[in-house]
Amino acid sequence: MFDWANKLRFNAAVRSGYDNNVNSANTNAFGSWFGNLNGGVNYRFGAPRLNVNATLTGGITLYQNPPPNQRTQGTIGLGVSTEYRYTPRLILTFNTSSSYQQQPNPSLIGSSQNQNGSYIFTANSFSGAYQWSDLFTTITRLSFTSMFYLDNILNTGGQGFNQPAFSQSFRWLVKPTTTAVLDYNTDYYGYAQQGNSSWGQSLSAGCDHTFNPQWFWNFRAGAEFRTYQNNANGSGTSGTYIGPYVTSNLSWALGKTSSINWTARVGTQPSGQSNVSFSPAARSGLNYSQGITAKLKANAGIFYLIQNYKNAAYGPVQDGKAGLIDYNQQSIQGNASLSYELNRIFQISTGYQYMTSTTSGGSATSGQEYNRGISYLQLNGAF
**pLDDT tens-digit readout, 17-47:** 999 988 888 888 888 999 999 999 999 988 8
What's the mean pLDDT in 294-321? Answer: 82
DSSP assignment of 237-291 equals EEEEEEEEEEEEEEEE--SSSEEEEEEEEEEEEE--STT--EEEEEEEEEEEEEE
What's the mean pLDDT in 68-93? Answer: 90
What is the reported pTM? 0.88
Instruction: Give the span between the Cα atoms of 159 and 278, in whole angstroms.
Output: 11
CB 140: neighbour CB atoms within 10 A? 13
**Sorting pLDDT into bands at 50, 70 and 90, what band is 237?**
low
Contact 202, 185 (CB under 8 A): yes
Which of 137-146, 200-209, 304-313 has the least mean pLDDT? Answer: 304-313
What's the mean pLDDT in 308-323? Answer: 69
Q: What are the φ and ψ backbone dihedral angles of 4, each rounded to 5 degrees?
A: -60, -30
Q: Does residue 292 carry a pLDDT above 70?
A: yes
Among residues 219, 252, 231, the alpha carbon closest in space to that of 321 is found at 231
Q: Does residue 109 carry a pLDDT above 80?
A: no
DSSP 60: E
pLDDT of residue 315: 65
Q: Does residue 5 carry a pLDDT above 90?
A: no
25 backbone φψ class: left, alpha, beta (φ>0; ψ -120 to 50): beta
Which of 143-152, 281-290, 329-338 has the least mean pLDDT? Answer: 143-152
User: Which ranges constitute the DSSP H helices of the chain?
Assistant: none
Q: What is the largest CA-CA distance in the chain?
A: 73
DSSP assignment of 355-383 equals EEEEESSGGGTGGG-EEEEEEEEEEEEE-
Question: What is the overall mean pLDDT for the chain?
Answer: 88
Q: Does residue 195 carry a pLDDT above 80?
A: no
pLDDT of residue 129: 97
* Pairing between β-strand 161-175 and β-strand 32-46 as defined by DSSP bridges: unpaired
Which of 75-79, 142-146, 156-160, 303-307 has the least mean pLDDT? Answer: 156-160
pLDDT of residue 306: 94
Which of 50-64, 78-92, 155-169 has the least mean pLDDT? Answer: 155-169
Quickly count helices (H) and strands (E) in the chain: 0, 20
Q: Comparing 7 with 301, which gets the higher pLDDT?
A: 301
Residue-range domain boundaries for the chain: 3-382
Task: Report the CATH architecture of 3-382.
Answer: Beta Barrel (2.40)
What's the mean pLDDT in 54-62? Answer: 94
pLDDT of residue 321: 60
Residue 303 amino acid letter: F
Residue 234 amino acid letter: G
2 bridge partner residues: none
Q: Does residue 103 carry a pLDDT above 90?
A: no
pLDDT of residue 156: 45
What's the mean pLDDT in 357-383? Answer: 90
pLDDT of residue 288: 97
Instruction: Give the span between the Cα atoms of 225 and 313, in whole angstroms.
Output: 24
Among residues 246, 250, 252, 280, the alpha carbon closest in space to that of 265 is found at 246
**pLDDT tens-digit readout, 240-291:** 999 999 999 999 998 888 999 999 999 999 887 767 888 999 999 999 999 9
What's the mean pLDDT in 138-159? Answer: 77
Q: Does residue 6 carry a pLDDT above 80?
A: no
* Pairing between β-strand 72-85 and β-strand 215-230 as defined by DSSP bridges: unpaired
Buried b (16+ CB within 10 A) or exposed e, 190-225: bbbbebbbbbbebebebebbeeeeeebbbbbebebe
pLDDT of residue 158: 47
Among residues 214, 215, 196, 165, the alpha carbon closest in space to that of 278 is found at 196
pLDDT of residue 9: 92
